[in-house]
């Protein structure tokens, strides 16, 4: 097997193992019902994480995801109050995410500033804007929210593929297409692998950087739209800390923080692993919620060590 699929394989193995552990511990755990809910509950983070995957593959980072999720929700809720259809306000926020991301990419490339700082500024900016608009949760009462929540495709067994999971899978398919079957996608990997070389090889740097962060912005805005519809409200603190969950999902999915290596599909499983840990601990009932973070932290740590060895094994051979 090509070694680039090794981390993805490891992620899938961990996911299946966790699922099996659940099946051994609890009746009815291995069912499409649990699986459908798992996909739906984590759809918004995974969507945002998919966009971040590109950013991280390019060697960058995006810290403004959580704030974007909150901001999108707050704006949609307030536009709902004045009578906008959620699809219209949601569409507008997607455009906003795209433009916002493109600007972030432009600043990073044009001013040659670390993505960490630029997107950290974005984190404060967007979260601050949330509070400017609203201090409290505002419900989204439009009928569409109920229609959206009700829409689903039945799965064999009792489970359903909820609308948010469907959106997530479509977003994933689009991302896989962009990442692996377009020149733009190949350019992202090239920039993450070696920025200077990529430029010398003729990769259009500015355009690609703007595209990468525009995608990051678009996907986190989409995550925000799904979250707003899923919770049928806009809350200024929504999504707090989700940027870190998204980054962790990307890393668990086998993408290297140093850039150049990773698969979009891995992020789906990385995000699902986090979701599965939460589900397992909820099933137990007696365990403290803190265990979700502790187990997640341990897994993340193990994965980073694993990656170090995998990457080391083929990088060292080339260094002579």
Partner 1 sequence: MTETATARIEMRGVSKIFPGVRALDHVDLRLEAGEVHALMGENGAGKSTLIKVLTGAVRRDEGEIQLDGKVVEIGTPGEARALGIGTVYQEVNLIPTMSVTKNLTLTRQPRKFGMVNWREAREVAKARLKRLNINIDVERPLGSYSVAIQQLVAIARALDDDTRALVLDEPTASLDANETAMLFNIIRDLKARGLAIVFITHFIDQVYQISDRVSVLRNGRLVGTGKIADTPPLKLISMMIGRELEKTALRLVGNAKTSDAPVVLEAEGLGKRVTMQPFNLKLRAGEAVGLSGLLGSGRTEVAKLIFGALKPDTGRLELGGAPMHGSSPGASVRAGIAFCPEDRKAEGVVGELTVRENIVLALQSKRGWLNRLSRSEQERLAAEMIKALGIATPDAEKPVGQLSGGNQQKVILARSLVAGPRVLILDEPTRGIDVGAHAEIVTLIRKLCGQGLALLVASSELDELVAVSDRVAVLRDRQMIGEISGADITRDNIVHMIAGAKS
Give me the residues that bind partner 1 (CB under 8 A), please.
2-4, 177, 180-183, 185-187, 189-190, 192-194, 196-198, 200-203, 259-261, 314-315, 317-318, 320
Asked if 212 and 104 count as a contact pair (C-beta separation under 8 A), the reply is no
Q: Give the position of tokens 């971040």.
A: 52
H/E segment holding residue 284: helix 264-284
3-state secondary structure of 234: strand
In angstroms, rounded to a whole number, what is the distance separating the alpha carbons of residues 237 and 254?
A: 29
How near is the Cβ of 218 to partner 1 at its closest, in Å? 19
- List 146's β-bridge partners, or say none: none
H/E segment holding residue 193: helix 183-193
How near is the Cβ of 160 to partner 1 at its closest, in Å? 32
- Nearest to partner 1 of 186, 306 (CB atom): 186
How near is the Cβ of 186 to partner 1 at its closest, in Å? 6
H/E segment holding residue 92: helix 86-111
- Nearest to partner 1 of 21, 201 (CB atom): 201
- Nearest to partner 1 of 7, 296 (CB atom): 7
How near is the Cβ of 244 to partner 1 at its closest, in Å? 25
- Nearest to partner 1 of 224, 259 (CB atom): 259
- Nearest to partner 1 of 187, 267 (CB atom): 187
List the Cα angle 269/261/206 in 5-degree steps: 115
CA distances in angstroms from 25 to 13, 65, 71, 157, 280, listed in the order given: 18, 35, 39, 20, 9
In angstroms, rounded to a whole number, what is the distance separating the alpha carbons of residues 230 and 227?
A: 5
How near is the Cβ of 182 to partner 1 at its closest, in Å? 6
How near is the Cβ of 193 to partner 1 at its closest, in Å? 4
- Nearest to partner 1 of 146, 313 (CB atom): 313
- The dihedral of CA 287, 269, 52, 89: what is its sign? negative
């Amino acid at each position: 097997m090509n070694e680039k699929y090794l981390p993805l394989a490891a992620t899938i193995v961990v996911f299946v193992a966790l699922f099996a552990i659940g099946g051994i511990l609890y009746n009815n755990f291995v069912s499409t019902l649990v699986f459908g809910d798992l996909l739906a509950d984590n759809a918004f983070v995974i969507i945002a994480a998919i966009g971040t995957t590109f950013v991280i593959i390019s060697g960058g980072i995006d810290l403004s995801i959580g704030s974007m999720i909150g901001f999108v929700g707050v704006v949609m809720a307030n536009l709902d109050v004045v009578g906008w259809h959620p699809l219209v306000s949601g569409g507008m926020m997607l455009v906003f995410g795209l433009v916002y991301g493109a600007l972030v990419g432009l600043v990073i490339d044009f001013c040659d500033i670390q993505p960490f700082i630029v997107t950290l500024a974005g984190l404060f900016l967007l979260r601050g804007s949330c509070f400017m608009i609203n201090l409290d949760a505002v419900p989204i009462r439009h009928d569409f929210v109920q229609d959206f929540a009700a829409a689903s495709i039945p799965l064999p067994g009792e489970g359903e593929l909820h609308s948010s999971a469907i959106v997530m899978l479509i977003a994933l398919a689009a991302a896989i297409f962009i990442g692996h079957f377009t020149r733009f996608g190949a350019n992202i990997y090239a920039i993450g692998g070696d920025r200077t070389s990529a430029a010398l090889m003729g990769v259009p740097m500015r355009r690609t950087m703007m595209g990468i962060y525009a995608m990051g912005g678009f996907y986190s805005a989409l995550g925000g739209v799904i979250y707003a519809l899923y919770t049928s409200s806009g809350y200024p603190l929504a999504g707090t800390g989700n940027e870190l969950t998204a980054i962790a999902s990307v890393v668990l999915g086998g993408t290297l923080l140093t850039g150049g290596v990773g698969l979009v599909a891995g992020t789906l499983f990385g995000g699902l692993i986090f979701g599965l840990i939460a589900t397992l601990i909820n099933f137990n009932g007696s365990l403290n919620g803190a265990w979700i973070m502790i187990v997640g932290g341990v897994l993340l740590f193990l994965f980073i060590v694993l990656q170090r060895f995998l990457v080391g094994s083929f990088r060292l051979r080339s260094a002579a």
